[in-house]
């Protein structure tokens, strides 16, 4: 079990579970998943297969106590082949769902600063690039931080329910800063925020530099930005730290901030509240995002 691992909110740190996948005999690649998303680590369990697999990476269903959880083969997803060495299962929880990932083995847990996480665009990774959100360089190896949401979305899209989209426009074109390191999520948010004038940034550091360049008074700021929507997991500066810096800034502190992340759960809402977030929305609730953003802006401007 992965439990009782707590970080002080707003320190721009994260903890990752490092694991490896053996591409072939003697050749390993190392990956990491944020500890917050990891519920449990276990040995290969008894699997119930389905007559037809919904995706080639789908292994089957496993019973963990009273829950039925789907199991996905990361080796199959990354390398298009099943690996006989896979023996550990990482059970994750994000976007209000639980998914198991089959891997070759575990190494250790690392506590690091987001400043030491490089964006994936700095190094070429071939076919693996789209599912990598960050890179950590150790003396003897490189660890890739996996974008597990993208992997699950590739297998069964979770953001495309037409009933979740806000189709109606808004009378006034408010200005919103969207901060997310995933180009896919940024495009999705821009598409969802119909009627808003959207500026995008790829991490918290870039976003904070943009905000502080808008002007030296509140009147100048609100002419160009009325609200910030930020992911939490990002290289250089995470969303908690960005929110804390905004709320501690003498001019920016009244700017509403919505944290929009798969990491938001009932158990972790206190982390966003601790840094002053005005609202927190998990990704399956994207249909509520535009309306809640509009409400926050109008409350602040009234």
H/E/C letters for each residue in 119-145?
CHHHCCCHHHHHHEEEEEECCCCEEEE
Confidence of residue 25 (pLDDT cuts 50, 70, 90): confident
Answer yes or no: is pLDDT of 107 > 70: yes
For residue 155, which phi and psi values (nearest 5 degrees)? -85, -35
Query: Could you report the per-residue pLDDT of 46-75, keeping only the tens digit for each?
Result: 888 877 777 788 888 999 988 899 999 998
CATH class of 13-154: mainly beta
Confidence of residue 7 (pLDDT cuts 50, 70, 90): low
63: left (phi > 0), else alpha (psi -120 to 50), else beta? Answer: beta
Q: In whole angstroms, what is the distance from residue 33 CA to residue 173 CA?
A: 38
Domain ranges of the chain: 13-154, 162-301
Confidence of residue 157 (pLDDT cuts 50, 70, 90): low
125 burial level (CB within 10 Å; 0-12, 13-18, 19+)? middle
Contact 263, 230 (CB under 8 A): no
- How large is the average pLDDT for residues 10-23? 88
- Residues counted in the chain: 302
Answer yes or no: is pLDDT of 124 > 70: no
pTM: 0.76
Supply the CATH classification number for the domain 162-301.
3.40.50.2300
Answer yes or no: is pLDDT of 271 > 50: yes
Question: Could you give the percent of the chain with pLDDT greater than 90?
Answer: 49
């Amino acid at each position: 079990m992965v439990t009782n691992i707590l970080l002080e909110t707003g320190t721009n740190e994260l903890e990752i579970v490092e694991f490896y996948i053996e591409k072939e005999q003697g050749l390993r690649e190392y990956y990491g998943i944020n500890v917050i998303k990891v519920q449990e680590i276990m040995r290969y369990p008894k699997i119930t297969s389905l007559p037809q697999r919904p995706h080639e990476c789908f292994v089957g269903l496993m019973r963990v106590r009273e829950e039925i959880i789907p199991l996905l083969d990361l080796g199959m997803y990354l390398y298009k082949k099943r690996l006989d060495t896979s023996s550990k299962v990482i059970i994750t929880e994000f976007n209000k769902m639980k998914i198991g990932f089959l891997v070759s083995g575990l190494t250790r847990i690392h506590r690091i600063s987001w400043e030491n996480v490089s964006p994936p665009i700095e190094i070429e990774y071939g076919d693996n690039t789209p599912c990598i959100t960050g890179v950590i360089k150790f003396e003897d190896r490189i660890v890739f931080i996996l974008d597990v949401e993208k992997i699950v979305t590739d297998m069964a899209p979770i953001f495309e329910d037409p009933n979740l989209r806000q189709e109606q426009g808004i009378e006034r074109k408010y200005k919103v800063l969207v901060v997310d390191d995933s180009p896919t999520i940024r495009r999705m948010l821009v598409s969802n925020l119909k009627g808003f004038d959207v500026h995008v940034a790829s991490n918290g550091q870039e976003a904070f530099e943009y905000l502080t360049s808008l002007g030296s008074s509140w009147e100048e700021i609100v002419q160009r930005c009325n609200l910030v929507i930020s992911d939490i997991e990002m290289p250089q500066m995470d969303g908690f730290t960005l929110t804390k810096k905004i709320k501690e800034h003498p001019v920016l502190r009244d700017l509403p901030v919505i944290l929009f992340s798969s990491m938001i759960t009932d158990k972790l809402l206190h982390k966003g509240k601790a840094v002053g977030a005005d609202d927190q929305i998990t990704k399956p609730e994207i249909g509520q995002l535009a309306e809640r953003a509009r409400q926050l802006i109008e409350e602040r401007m009234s």
